[in-house]
Amino acid sequence: MSHAELQQVVVLGATGSVGTSTLDVLDRNREQYSVYALSAHRNVELLASQCQQFEPVFAAMSDPGAAAQLQQRLQRAGSRTSVLSGPDSLERIAVDSRVTSVMAAVVGYAGLAPVMAAATAGKRILLANKEAMVVAGELLVATARENGATILPVDSEHNAIFQCLPAGDSTSWRKEIVSLVLTASGGPFREWSAEQMERATVEQALAHPNWDMGQKISIDSATMMNKGLEIIEASHLFGVDEQEIEVVVHPQSVVHSMVRFADGSVIAQMGNADMRTPIAHALGWPERLASGVAPIDFTRIGSLQFEPPDEQRFPCLRLARLALGKGGSAPAILNAANEVAVENFLKRRIGFADIARINQSALAQIPLEQPASVEHLAQIDRRARNLAVELVDSASTSTEIT
């Protein structure tokens, strides 16, 4: 492939766990891909070194102070990368006419605006940022469809399901499929009692047994809100109902998810627990790329376990199903409350079990609406955050955290 034919890729959230894995895959496939732009929030150090390595045309930082520092560093180093500043800069790089693919790997609601912009611009979106799909679901899918954008799932479970499903959308395979089966590792507290979880520390909650991930998703894995968000994500991505999505706890994280067919067949996707596989799959689809992931050694795995999820000990799973069933603004409210609760748990202001309590209260207290636009979603998000902050304040005065 000549230089002119290189696919131009934007990596939003380049300094994160998925972002750095994406750059690793891109680095192995330089004959096909060029890094057009990178984004980060505050991590000047890492973004500067990524700019040295990949020489993107643009580097965007949502934090203006960090952007100014990056600008100085790149100038001193004689870099030709142009620095863009502020939250809007992510949207600018996501819609650039030279860009073909956008890796959406910002964490949380903050990633929604650039994902919507990329969908409106008809880009190929590699979606890791599950919160964007949870919050904007129907609106995001409709925007992508209207503008010819393709959304390829990077979240390992959804990527696995995408690999197992027949081609086409749900209208073409609906009758052939009984359910989608999301696997869950169960997180660090899979075997803990509810009483033990009340006292769980930040360090214990961050210690995921199988995956090395960013802090927010690590806490979501410990509460199993991550699986809850993934149920909502799967429903929108694949056009299926809540009842058609099963969750099974599978502690080895070898089977990344499955599809159950009408004839009794189940197709599973397997691999080592390394995000470079789903990243490479989404990037290369429909072709396969080298990812650097070690081949799986079945003889060392020995056996695979499957257990039912426990919605009593992990109420966030139930809350997510509830929010999906209610529809409208419910998933956006749940997501906003959860982001606030997780942030405050990480700051040790509330206890681990308060996360689910705050999520439940926010969902119960805020009247539901039908989100009509991204601006409307922003209002819904803000309102839910404000309530969640109040709930954090009352929880933190009643909880003793050591």
Q: How far is the CB of 230 from Mg ion (least distance, A)?
A: 6
155 binds Mg ion (CB under 5 A): yes
| Residue 94 backbone class (left: φ over 0; alpha: ψ -120 to 50; beta: rest) | alpha
Which of the choices ligand NDP, Mg ion, none does residue 13 contact, using the CB cut-off of 5 to 8 A by kind?
Answer: ligand NDP
For residues 162 and 154, what is the distance between their CA atoms, to the nearest angstrom? 10
Which of the choices Mg ion, ligand NDP, none does residue 210 contact, using the CB cut-off of 5 to 8 A by kind?
Answer: none
Q: How far is the CB of 125 from ligand NDP (least distance, A)?
A: 13
Token digits for 220? 């979501």
Q: Is the peptide bond before 278 cis (omega within 30 degrees of 0)?
A: no
Q: How far is the CB of 21 from ligand NDP (least distance, A)?
A: 7
Contacts 24+ apart (CB under 8 A), 339-345: 339/108, 339/109, 339/131, 339/216, 339/385, 340/385, 340/388, 340/389, 340/392, 341/388, 341/391, 341/392, 342/216, 342/219, 342/220, 343/216, 344/392, 344/396, 345/202, 345/205, 345/219
Q: How far is the CB of 263 from ligand NDP (least distance, A)?
A: 31
Alpha helices in 209-367 (DSSP H): 215-223, 225-238, 276-284, 298-301, 315-326, 330-346, 352-365
Give Cβ neighbours of residue 146 (< 8 Å, ≥ 6 apart): none
Which of the choices Mg ion, ligand NDP, none does residue 15 contact, using the CB cut-off of 5 to 8 A by kind?
Answer: ligand NDP
For residues 163 and 257, what is the distance between their CA atoms, to the nearest angstrom? 10
233 binds Mg ion (CB under 5 A): no
Please identify, using beta-carbon distances, which residue of 15 and 156 lies nearer to Mg ion.
156
Please identify, using beta-carbon distances, which residue of 43 and 361 lies nearer to ligand NDP.
43
Please identify, using beta-carbon distances, which residue of 18 and 116 lies nearer to Mg ion.
18
For residues 122 and 111, what is the distance between their CA atoms, to the nearest angstrom? 17
# chain residues binding Mg ion, by CB under 5 A: 3
Please identify, using beta-carbon distances, which residue of 128 and 319 lies nearer to Mg ion.
128
Please identify, using beta-carbon distances, which residue of 181 and 395 lies nearer to ligand NDP.
181
Give the type of residue at 318.
R
Q: How far is the CB of 272 from ligand NDP (least distance, A)?
A: 13
Residues in the site for ligand NDP, rule: CB under 6 A? 13-19, 40-43, 62, 105-107, 110, 128-131, 155-156, 211, 213-217, 275
Please identify, using beta-carbon distances, which residue of 18 and 119 lies nearer to ligand NDP.
18
- Decide: 380 and 329 in contact? Cβ < 8 Å: yes
Please identify, using beta-carbon distances, which residue of 18 and 136 lies nearer to Mg ion.
18
Q: How far is the CB of 171 from ligand NDP (least distance, A)?
A: 27
Which of the choices Mg ion, ligand NDP, none does residue 320 contact, using the CB cut-off of 5 to 8 A by kind?
Answer: none
**What does the binding site for Mg ion look like in residue numbers (CB under 5 A)?**
155-157
